A and B are shown apart, each in its own frame.
Chain A
């Protein structure tokens, strides 16, 4: 088990609603990355936060947004939920550098109906 925690574990939302997912990074890590994993697929990079600013973004629309707080925890916000947003959302923490491994949380399973 890593020291990365995510909440909630499961979530059911209706199309058009908004959702906030939370992540606490491992002690000593200052970077948080968010990934979306659809069923049967590998994780897809959404964005990364370092020093409370977005530091890279994947091919996701602006309705996916995030925050990083001074204690390095992070939030992922998704507005105007669509059915295709149903997925496992993973956050991963790491220490900013040139070569690194990421420590993943257990994920939040989001179902949009």
Chain B
């Protein structure tokens, strides 16, 4: 079953605009990660935010996490046509230690029009 739910399901913007995607989840987490997938290929890790962090930046990416609301957002600033992809949030399954499987949402399909 899916843990996270991304919103919106699809987003279309002009090049240069900012894109914001949201993710909600149901259970407690150790960390939340965002991944990008181009055209049904492998997933690329973008950024990881731990449960005790509220905001994190990486280049043009900004991620926020609100554990009280069980939600996260991914902001891509100054979007480019190459940012066109599906974006997924993924949470761990919250075990005490060791590797935990990632639980993915259904993703947001971002289209950036040149």
Residues of A within 8 A of B (CB): 2, 4, 31, 33, 35, 39-45, 48, 50, 55-56, 58-59, 88, 90, 92, 94, 96-107, 109
- A-B contacts, 21 of them at CB < 8 A, read A4-B42, A31-B99, A42-B104, A43-B88, A43-B104, A45-B102, A58-B101, A92-B43, A92-B102, A94-B99, A96-B98, A99-B48, A99-B50, A101-B33, A101-B48, A102-B102, A103-B45, A104-B43, A104-B44, A106-B41, A107-B42
A107 and B41 within 8 A (CB): yes
Q: How large is the interface on B (under 10, 10 to 19, 20 to 34, 35 or more residues)?
A: 20 to 34
Residues of B within 8 A of A106 (CB): 41-42
- When chains A and B are docked, how far (Å) is the Cα of A109 from the Cα of B39? 12
B30 and A98 within 8 A (CB): yes
**Which listed residue, B40, B45, B48, B98, touches A88 by the CB 8 Å rule?**
B40
Residues of A within 8 A of B101 (CB): 33, 45, 48, 56, 58
Residues of B within 8 A of A35 (CB): 102, 104
Residues of A within 8 A of B43 (CB): 43, 90, 92, 104
Q: Taking CB as reference atom, which chain B residue is nearest A31?
A: B99
| Also in contact, A98 and B98, with CB within 8 A (given A40-B106, A42-B104) | yes
- When chains A and B are docked, how far (Å) is the Cα of A27 from the Cα of B6? 32
Interface SS, A side? loop
Residues of A within 8 A of B50 (CB): 99
- When chains A and B are docked, how far (Å) is the Cα of A104 from the Cα of B40? 12
CB distance from A104 to the nearest CB of B (A): 4
| Other 18 A-B pairs with CB < 8 A, given A35-B104, A56-B101, A101-B45 | A2-B42, A42-B88, A42-B104, A42-B106, A43-B102, A43-B104, A45-B101, A45-B103, A56-B99, A58-B101, A88-B40, A96-B99, A101-B33, A102-B45, A102-B102, A104-B43, A107-B40, A107-B41
